[in-house]
Amino acid sequence: MSDLPHQFTKKLWLDLGNTRLKYWIVENDTIIAHDAREHLKAPNELLLGLLGTLASFCPEFVGISSVLGDKINTAIMQTLDTLGVPYEFAKVNANHDKLKSHYNPKELGVDRWLQMLGAVDKHKRQCVVGCGTALTIDLINKGVHLGGYILPNVYMQRHALYAGTQQIAVKGGKFDSIELGKTTFDAVNHGVLFGVVGAVRAIMTDYPDFELILTGGGADMINAQFHQELKTEKELLLIGLKRYFA
């Protein structure tokens, strides 16, 4: 990581995920603009459409988290070149002074790592649950990443069930309950949510002394199924991105 960001007061933090593009415009550590949009598998096209809006804020540096692969990242770089300001992609650092990891850095997604970096507190045991395209569960013991789990989210599970069965043909619907389903439609939607919520409950039972933090777009959906409100910080990744370049 370069020392370049320290020179500037106005920065663009850009998160390119599997399904959404999110950004913060920050001036002197204050968020002055933000947005999140589904990119429908065309993230560079969406970025091109947002370029005029982003340029109007006159960012002096762009910090990027991307899980989209080299081909798309190359197109992203070509688009960002037109802004005419320095930019840099965040990379996993297994020996970061705030967050150590026993993972091979090449095998740990930068999104998971930045979520943990956004939450990490060296005085605590923590469990970061990312509720995005996948459900990620990561345990941190006083600044040391112990490992974790990756599960399909509710939408991926439902799609797999439809694709792999002949008689379940009802698609769509909200994930708003884990009560016993009285129809096949409800049994599917309640069932896949039950599985995801069950994974969170299990990690809470197995690691009761770890503070659990939900993050990501699906955090409220999961939180709603618990009698007590769980700690939620939806933008841990962007907080981690900011920390990375700090």
- Which residues are the active-site residues? 111
Q: What is the CB neighbour count within 10 angstroms for residue 168?
A: 15
**Regarding beta strands 87-89 and 211-215, do their DSSP bridges make them parallel or antiparallel, or are they unpaired?**
unpaired
Q: What is the CB neighbour count within 10 angstroms for residue 129?
A: 28
Residues 6+ apart with CB under 8 A from 77: 87
Residues 6+ apart with CB under 8 A from 129: 135, 136, 137, 200, 203, 212, 213, 214, 215, 219, 222
